Amino acid sequence: MQTNSSSEPRAVVLLSGGLDSMVAGALAREAGYRLLALSIDYNQRHRVELQAASRVAKSLNAMRHIVLPLDLTAFGGSALTADIAVPKSGVGDDIPITYVPARNTIFLSLTLGLAEVAGASDIFIGVNALDYSGYPDCRPEFIDAFQTMAALATKAGVEGHPIRINAPLQHMSKADIVREADRLGLDTGISWSCYDPTPDGKHCGLCDSCRLRSKGYQEAGLPDPTLYAARP
């Protein structure tokens, strides 16, 4: 991949296929960036999310969509990377077993490498610290610390042009994110949020991610295009 020689700014969007990363990418596009989309195939428990990421990348007119294989089942330790049941009793106060150890640290490091090679000035990630499952690597403190590390760890940073880490949804409620998607004119029905889809391709409706998604639409007062197998 060639370094960017154009004056048109580029941003790398870490694209999971979910609602939040879709909105983060759309905000980057609205801000005038040309988008490079990066999705990580970490051998998660289903392929539906990556299929959604492909749809979302196309809808955002990404100039390129890279799907990078990285088999985190070799580590395990999460209901998303090991044979562990996905909890469906509701969003709790403890960090749930769906937490993938150091996932955003790993993924942002890869995104940072791509951004530097591509000559991108910015990274966009859809992390949120209000309506979320309590993952430690979604907190503002983590993003701030990673920004500091990125400035120290890259040629761009050492030369005085650190790559910026943008988390535009950080302090939004899920309802705010749904409203923002509506304002941006996004077809959120092509995104995917469920940790444990049914065999017929529906959102389970009961995992943390489904509950937060459904809650967002309800509180936003907007129609939810998601097909749920069950309602909490």
Please say if the pLDDT value at position 113 is more than 80: yes
User: Residue 124: exposed, middle, or buried by beta-carbon count in 10 A (0-12, 13-18, 19+)?
Assistant: buried
3-state secondary structure of 219: helix
Q: Write out pLDDT tens, residues 216-225.
A: 999 999 999 9
DSSP conformational letter for 33: P
Average pLDDT score, the chain: 94
Q: Classify domain 10-220 by CATH number.
A: 3.40.50.620
Please say if the pLDDT value at position 150 is more than 70: yes
Q: Determine which helix (DSSP H) or strand (DSSP E) holds 12, and give its type and residue range.
A: strand 10-14
Token pair for residue 202? 């529906």
Please say if the pLDDT value at position 3 is more than 50: no
3-state secondary structure of 228: strand
Alpha helices in the chain (DSSP H): 19-30, 48-59, 103-118, 140-153, 155-158, 174-183, 208-220
When pLDDT is cut at 50, 70 and 90, the band that residue 11 belongs to is very high
**Which amino acid type is present at position 108?**
L
